Amino acid sequence: MAKTVSDVLKLAKDSGAKILDLRFMDFPGLWQHFSVPIKVLTEDLFEDGLGFDGSSIRGWKAINESDMLVIPDPSSALIDPFMKPTTLTLICDVFDPITRQRYSRCPRSIALKAEAYVQSSGLADIAYFGPEAEFFVFDDIRFGQNEYSGFYFIDSQEGAWNTGKDEGPNLGYKLRHKEGYFPVPPADSLQELRSEMLLTMEACGLDVECHHHEVATGGQSEIDLKFGPLVQMADQMLWYKYIVKNTARKHGKSVTFMPKPIYNDNGSGMHTHMSLWKDGNPLFAGNGYAGLSEMALYYIGGILKHAPALIALTNPTTNSFKRLVPGYEAPVNLAYSQRNRSAACRIPVYSNSPKSKRVEFRCPDPTCNPYLAFSAMLMAGIDGIVNKIHPGEPLDKDIYDLSPVELAEVPSTPGSLGDALDALEKDHDFLLKGDVFTEDVIETWIEYKRTNEVDALRLRPHPYEFALYYDI
């Protein structure tokens, strides 16, 4: 990756780039872009930026105040691995053209402020994040919705439902529900595709640790990146999604990061590992439970205390709550444990090295906006440290084997996106510290999600309701 403006100009020249692609993040969490001739790439671009109309970007400016600026980050420069002619990409931050201040609803700007807040607090100088995003690879996807009909149809060559399909010939090797973890090919039909995704990521500078098939039938997969600093990791998650989707499309397949596209099988999460460091030393290693420091325990306390509100940002879709249900390895109970994967916070014990000590928050899913989700998790953890919020006793039993009396004492995640948004409305002061999030950002997020997603789904008949109620 380029580091300086001079590096970017050299990369453009050496690569023979013809197009400059400028990318930025919308409010809900999709990458946006526009392209210009490579001649626009000058040193002045990194000071002056380029104007664009922000009125059509979801959750942003009204049409009467739509002019905005993108200013690229030179450290983000990469050659797009899919585009022809040769295209140089730059990730940008969004600014107000009049005040020249960072736009408060720009997700990347929020993440930059979160990093600055941690450093200014003196508690740590770097926050590491390691997300483990899961996704489905499908061979066909169709859906439609209007006033008088609604449907979806998913298909996958390895789906359990296709054992009897005439595929001319059907070769079998269909993965049974909940048995996709980790059979070798030919049952795992996506090995070569994931390897191509991995190699493309590596060529783009992403540090990949592994890839494998996931538990569900129908093409569920996972590719894990090595941890990195907050903003850098969020940038890489956008490249991760871009590479996964475009590699699949090149092979006539489609990828979704939707948490629960298949009924009655495991959904896709994004377990996120976190740790704080200072002066090159890990701060989460100590002599406490599971080898954790007091700081790490307080960090967990902050995550668990604010989890209902956090989940409005880490699990931000109505579909997210079809995954966050008991019985599918989803962590719906707000507890912590050193090994128990049914706990919301887990402390991995693969290694005793102090450098490996970290906290894994298992609730998030990959529909989240990584800039907002990582920032919110960090702010909750910091609040726990500052206010010495102890997480209580660990829960090392199998949560699903607890008696009803014992289980009633374990808090659980919100049951719907509406419930999570209600929690965020009541509990968000921790996000406002250091002006990382603003009241405007929180209010806009809640209003957007309620209007465009919660109410939009609530008001529509569901196909299964006809099966339940049509003959009444």
Q: Which residues are catalytic?
A: 53, 132, 134, 214, 222, 271, 341, 360, 362
Per the CB < 8 A criterion, the answer to whether 265 and 178 are in contact is yes
Match 């090159």 to its residue by tokens: 280
Per the CB < 8 A criterion, the answer to whether 301 and 390 are in contact is yes
CB within 8 A of 137, min separation 6: which ones?
Answer: 156, 190, 193, 219, 220, 221, 248, 253, 254, 255
Per the CB < 8 A criterion, the answer to whether 293 and 286 are in contact is yes
- Residue 211 and residue 213: Cα distance in Å, rounded? 7
Neighbours of 305 (CB within 10 A): 21
The residue among 354, 334, 355 whose CA lies nearest residue 346 is 334
- Residue 292 and residue 131: Cα distance in Å, rounded? 20
DSSP string spanning 304-363? HHHHHHHHHHHS-STTHHHHSSTTSS---EEEEESS-TTEEEE---S---GGG--EEE--
CA distance from start to end of the chain: 63
The residue among 302, 308, 319 whose CA lies nearest residue 419 is 308
